Amino acid sequence: MATYSDVICPFCGCLCDDIEITVENNKVVNTKNSCAISRSKFIKNDWGRIIFPTINGEPAPYEKAIEEAVKILSSARRPLVYGLSKTDNEAIREAIHLTELVGGVIDSTTTVCHGASIIAMQNTGVATTTLGEVKNRADLIVFWGSNPAEAHPRHFQRYSVTPKGKYTPNGRSGRYIVVVDVRETRSSKLADQFIRITPNSDFDVLQALRALVRGQKLSVGEVGGVQINILEELADRMKGAKVGCVFYGLGLNQSEGRHMNVDAMYSLVSELNHHTKFACNPMRGCFNVTGANMVTTWQTGYPFAVDFSRGYPRYNPGEYTAVDLLAREEVDAALIMGSDPASTFPLEAARHLSKIPVVTLERKETPTSMISKVVIPVATSGIETDGTAYRMDYVPLKLRKVVDPPQGVFSDAVVLRDIIERIKALEVDSI
Amino acid sequence: MVDKIDVIILTGRTLQQGIGLEVGKVSEEYSKSVNYAEISRGDSRALGLTNSSPVEVTTARGKVVLYGRISETLSPGLIFVPYGPWINQVLGPDTCCTGTPQLKGVPAELELAEGKRVPTLLDLVKVMRGT
């Protein structure tokens, strides 16, 4: 039996780095400090694993599966490489290299989570901060359209609500917590103030708040279902905070208005910085979706939705984003890794995946693996492999391997490198 | 009692969904965590819904049968369904040039689905394949 301390949890964007893992006979048998989801990820790591590659649902040797993947990707006219967010930066780098080689399009799960937020960031600029700064300095926290008690279960405890920091010695009692959402949630129950807004009214409420922060008087009684005096009080509270931070979720950018809602949020925060120190961070879901954006930006200059069909990177959300490409039936092959788009995309987009040859790198059976021509099992990033990942506040951290992967199962990066080497060899042969 | 109610679909994450998906997409834990709709007490009463009986959600994009769960906190006119392949049957792929489909705040009709079966994950894969 071996015990590992300070292990990083590879579930959500919090990347909690204080997990204690006990391993017996190459299996995680206990965890400490982990949330219920993290515990499920570690303890059930070996449940239902894919342990050999398949082609058309039939078992195949690894080499044969790689060959088939090479054939699919190198013969496609417009291949899509999609996912990236549940793997490490090293694998993401290889995925970008592969996409460039085959002249494809690469996109990450960002596209169905904070993609619209990134478009807004590019419009407005961002006032960002680290979670350490929040813990040590922030006395006002606003959760807008986010429900960390269910999606990021230890965010409250480690970073934003209860921890005692250098300039926040009283912990929970020294912070005022506001939740703005369209429904009551586990998070709203823990807040000092819950403001319920009407669905699809985020833009209106944020613009009203922005006007109030600028000192303007509004001649209406309510906006988005919220009485104006409540918004006036919130505007004053925000201006009066020593340090404030908004953590916003998908309630903003998956509703009507998409990026314009987030644009309004960043504009409000920009306005608040005329009065005090205020920051704004998205609550990122998959553990390395931030890494997917960061690595794609180093390598191509763009954070997601990158097209290499002309031999150089081009960026255009709506045109090179995975849901749009699939719904328009533009792509003729796909490599999926670190995600399950057949589950997470609207049916009309996911359906095209069942009509084209798909290569999936996956740990466990999913609807995407079920409709794939080639499935290659991979190691669990952050449990069975080392590597690096970005926390939701853009801080890179080193993941730690605590158990070995099943025999004959390799990391995403190794599998991608094997595909890349063979595609390069094809190109040499064809010269 | 009414036959149908106009509602707005809200989707999102839940703790049980996170736990279920980390066990595995083909696990019972996962299916149970995402194949239901939370419905307000008022709307449940209006429809005559009893807990866990099937309901049908219809949007401009299609229909899906889910288990109905009575919620004490949700406002009338709203339903909440965890993210997953069930609710994705009725959400559209239009991204308004952002890449992100509208997964929240989608108008729908809600009715009881007596005699109809909530699909399994394999049923949904068949729908995707068109088989």
Of A178, A144, A130, give the one whose Cα is nearest residue A392: A130
Region for A66 from its dihedrals, namely left if φ exceeds 0, alpha if ψ lies in -120 to 50, beta otherwise: alpha
Strand partners, A337: A83, A361
Query: How far is Cα A131 from Cα A135, in angstroms, rounded to an integer?
Result: 6
Instruction: Determine whether the interchain pair A183/B80 forms a contact, defined as Cβ–Cβ distance below 8 Å.
Output: yes
φ, ψ dihedrals at A317, nearest 5°? -60, 140
Structure tokens at A315: 């960026």
Residue A24 pLDDT greater than 60, yes or no: yes
Cβ count within 10 A of residue B130: 8
CA of A250: which chain B residue's CA is closest?
A: B12
Match 């088989």 to its residue by tokens.
Answer: B131
* Whether residue A211 has pLDDT greater than 80: yes
> For residue A165, how far is the Cα from the chain centroid?
27
Write the DSSP string, A372-417: -SEEEEB--BTTTB-EEEE-TTS-EEEE---SPPPTT-B-HHHHHH
Contacts of A430 (CB under 8 A, 6+ apart): none
Cβ contact (<8 Å) for B98 and A366?
no
pLDDT tens figures, A321-339: 999 999 999 999 999 999 9
Chain B residue closest in CA terms to A342: B85
Nearest Cβ partner for B15 among A36, A318, A371: A36
The helix or strand, by DSSP H or E, that contains position B15, with its residue range, turns out to be: helix B15-23
How high is the mean pLDDT of chain A? 97
Calculate Rg over the CA atoms of chain A. Answer: 23
B128 vs A contacts (CB less than 8 Å): 342, 347, 350-351, 353-354, 367, 371
Please state, in angstroms and rounded to a whole number, the distance separating the CA atoms of residues A31 and A385: 18
Element (H, E) at A106: strand A105-108
What pTM, to 2 d.p., does this model score?
Answer: 0.96
pLDDT in tens, B19-56: 999 999 999 999 999 999 999 999 999 999 999 999 99
Q: Above 80 in pLDDT, residue B117?
A: yes
Separation of CA A296 from chain center: 13
Buried b (16+ CB within 10 A) or exposed e, A214-236: eeeeeeeeebbebebeebeebbe
Domains identified in chain B, total number: 1
| A395 phi/psi in degrees, rounded to 5 | -90, 120
Quick one: tokens of A74?
């190198």
Taking the C-alpha atoms of residue A126 and residue A387, their distance in angstroms, rounded to an integer, is 28
The Cα–Cα gap between B3 and B45 comes to: 12
CATH of residue B73's domain is 2.40.40.20
- Range(s) of the domain holding residue B34: 4-129
Contact B99 A116 (CB under 8 A): yes
Please report the ipTM that was assigned to this predicted complex: 0.97
Does A227 have pLDDT greater than 70? yes
- Residue A426 is predicted with a pLDDT of 86
Average pLDDT, rounded, for chain B: 96
* Residue B102: closest CA among B111, B110, B93: B93
Query: Other CB atoms closer than 10 Å to residue A170's CB: what's the count?
Result: 10
Domains along chain A with CATH numbers = 49-113+287-430 (3.40.50.740), 115-282 (3.40.228.10)
Arithmetic mean of pLDDT, B100-123 = 96
Q: What is the pLDDT of residues A286-295, one digit of tens each?
A: 999 999 999 9
Which pLDDT does position A296 carry in this prediction? 98
pLDDT at A431 over 70: no
Place of tokens 């990158």: A306
B14 and A347: CB-CB below 8 Å?
no
The residues pairing with A222 across neighbouring beta strands, listed in sequence order, are A227
- In degrees and rounded to multiples of 5, residue B116 shows phi and psi of -100, 155
